[in-house]
Structure 1
Amino acid sequence: MPELPEVEVVRRGLVRWLRGRTITSVEVLDPRSLRRHALGPEDFIGNLQGTTVVDVVRRGKFLWMPLRDTPSAAAAPEQSVPAVALMAHLGMSGQLLMQDPSVPDEKHLKVRLRLSPADGMPDELRFVDQRIFGGLFVTDLVATDDGGPGGLAESPLPLIAEEAAHIARDPLDPAFSFGLFYSRLRKRRTGLKRALLDQGLVSGIGNIYADESLWRAGLHYARPTDKLRRSDAERVIASAREVMLDALEAGGTSFDSLYVNVNGASGYFDRSLNAYGREGQPCNRCAAVGINSLIRREQFMNRSSYTCPVCQPRPRNGRW
């Protein structure tokens, strides 16, 4: 499943092609991709046709496009503030692709949005989904609980898609508060990785980037959160931010050929991973100082965790 850097790669691509353009028509080829839009395809189409995409916003792995009813710059101020958004849930295999109409339809094309013409830009946004775990839907925008921007965007507004309002800010969000994160973290009685995967505490950190962040920070996933020093918490958040920025520079991590960005290109950060998926391989940090230590894999919450037994020692009082 795409993680935060993959979704941010998609956001950056979409905002380049979509911002300020009007949705002229909508074609639903498979209603199953609209199952999260409770009122069905006709209402979905009616809510989108004739609207203008104001921006593309991301918080954690949630992605949405605020919509304005009119593109007119002379509209009254209350009309210029978007009230609804088109939200995309990529699921396991969802793709948002910008294509020219001349490009043949993809095999698993589910929804097509035609856009107002723009010089040198593709005129269609296509939602493709082989496994049909993802989908599109229209949602209300609500005020953020802290008065800050809803998420990462080109023109941030203090609005957030209703379905994303319950999740915390992510480490790449300029409005992320370490103080608030640490205060909430210390109140938990759980293991550090389990806490990092809790989207209500900090969003956007999935299994891959949790392992990579903990490896960079030199911390074991079972470290108790209620006893974690502030300096250790600062180090793991800084590591998470560094890992995600490195992944963004590389275009995301792609273990699945189905993940592509808006231009159809796969990510390749998996070539730079230090922990995740490297069971039985030398730990790069230990090897650099002449220590022979192999990355090990352990079962964790029906998944796997990858750690170095030397530079990420398991605490005696660890928690899952």
Structure 2
Amino acid sequence: MPELPEVEVVRAGLARWVVGRRIDSVDVVEPRSLRRHRPGPEHFTATLAGREITDAVRRGKYLWLLLTSGNDPAPLAMLAHLGMSGQLLVKPPEAPAERHLRVRVTFDDRDLQLRFVDQRIFGSLQVTELVTTADGGPGGLGRTGLPLLPPEVAHIARDPLDPAFDDSDFADRVRARHTGIKRALLDQSLISGIGNIYADEALWRAALHYARPTETLTRTAIARLTDAVRQVFGEALDAGGTSFDALYVNVNGESGYFDRSLDVYGRAGEPCKRCGTPIVREKFMNRSSHFCPVCQRKR
């Protein structure tokens, strides 16, 4: 599944290429990709037609395109979740249709199309009415900074790249938990956007064992971990994301390549880049954790 840097790369691409454009028409090739839009495909296409996209916003791994509302009583957005294999591609209309094309949005200038491609159909699109954020801050990372977000995303916490993320509050909430630190990092209601790969990478940089009890962590250690998450995210964004197959691509169809720079994930048996000790892989929540048994001792 794409992690936060992948989704942020897509959001930035959408902000560059589709914000400010007006939707002319929508072609639903696969109705299952609209299963979360309960009024159905016809309502989806009719609602989007004629609206301008005013912002591309992301919270955690969710992203949405803010729309002009016209006479609607509440602000509207097209909410996208990429699932396991969803892609949002910006292509010229004459470009051949992708094999797994599910939804095609054509703009009134006829220069570009926004295409939702999804091999496994775990992703989805829907039009939703926005609500006010609980804390009064921006709904997510975007240009406008409006205090609005889809209700479907309201339970998702802010991520460390969000300017409204509160480091002190995060430290307090972590220390109040009674769980392992990696489990806490993967809890999207506590901190969003961190998946298995980047959790391992950040924990290695912060020299913390993945099972370290959260209540034993000092505020200094949590601050070190939060900084490590931001560093990993920042480097992944610079590189274009992490990709292990052809499923993740950005809006221009270019695969990410941050996997070439991973320090610990997927390197079981290879020497730690800090101390030379072989990296260990252990089962964790039906997945795996990778760590250095010397640099990341469980206390």
User: Which residue identity lines up with residue 112 of structure 1 in the other structure?
Assistant: R
The 2-side partners of 1:167 and 1:134 are apart by 17
Match of 2:50 in 1: 50
Q: Is the 8 A contact 1:68 1:81 kept in 2?
A: no
The 2-side partners of 1:264 and 1:6 are apart by 12
User: Which residue identity lines up with residue 68 of structure 2 in the other structure?
Assistant: R
SS at match of 2:102: strand
Question: Greater Rg, structure 1 or structure 2?
Answer: 1
Match of 1:282 in 2: 271
Q: Is the 8 A contact 1:51 1:67 kept in 2?
A: yes
The 1-side partners of 2:155 and 2:123 are apart by 19
Q: How many residues align?
A: 299
Match of 2:224 in 1: 235
Q: Is the 8 A contact 1:66 1:82 kept in 2?
A: no
Match of 1:3 in 2: 3
SS at match of 1:262: coil
Change in 2 beyond 3 A, CA 1:81/1:68: farther
How many Å apart are 1:227 and its aligned residue?
A: 1.8
Match of 2:138 in 1: 149
How many Å apart are 1:232 and its aligned residue?
A: 0.3
User: Which residue identity lines up with residue 214 of structure 2 in the other structure?
Assistant: T
Q: Aligned-residue CA RMSD in angstroms?
A: 1.3
User: Identity, % of aligned pairs?
Assistant: 62
How many Å apart are 1:69 and its aligned residue?
A: 3.3
Of stretches 37-46 and 298-307 in structure 1, the one that deviates more from structure 2 is 37-46
User: Which residue identity lines up with residue 45 of structure 2 in the other structure?
Assistant: I
Deviations 1:263-292 (A, max 9, x none): 0000000000001110010100113xxxxx
SS at match of 2:143: coil
How many Å apart are 1:228 and its aligned residue?
A: 0.9
Please, which runs of 5 or more residues in structure 2 have no aligned partner? none
Match of 1:307 in 2: 291
Match of 1:90 in 2: 82
SS at match of 1:88: strand
Match of 1:107 in 2: 99
Match of 1:27 in 2: 27
How many Å apart are 1:116 and its aligned residue?
A: 2.3
SS at match of 2:275: helix
How many Å apart are 1:46 and its aligned residue?
A: 1.5
Q: Is the 8 A contact 1:67 1:82 kept in 2?
A: no
TM-score with structure 1 length normalisation?
0.91
SS at match of 1:95: strand
TM-score with structure 2 length normalisation?
0.98
The 1-side partners of 2:72 and 2:55 are apart by 13
Change in 2 beyond 3 A, CA 1:274/1:240: same
Please, which runs of 5 or more residues in structure 1 have no aligned partner? 71-78, 288-292, 316-320
Match of 1:265 in 2: 254
The 1-side partners of 2:72 and 2:81 are apart by 26
The 2-side partners of 1:314 and 1:182 are apart by 20
Q: Is the 8 A contact 2:4 2:194 kept in 1?
A: yes
Residue 173 (str. 1) matches residue 165 (str. 2): no
The 2-side partners of 1:168 and 1:130 are apart by 28
Runs (4+) off by over 4 Å: 79-82
SS at match of 1:39: coil
Change in 2 beyond 3 A, CA 1:216/1:40: same
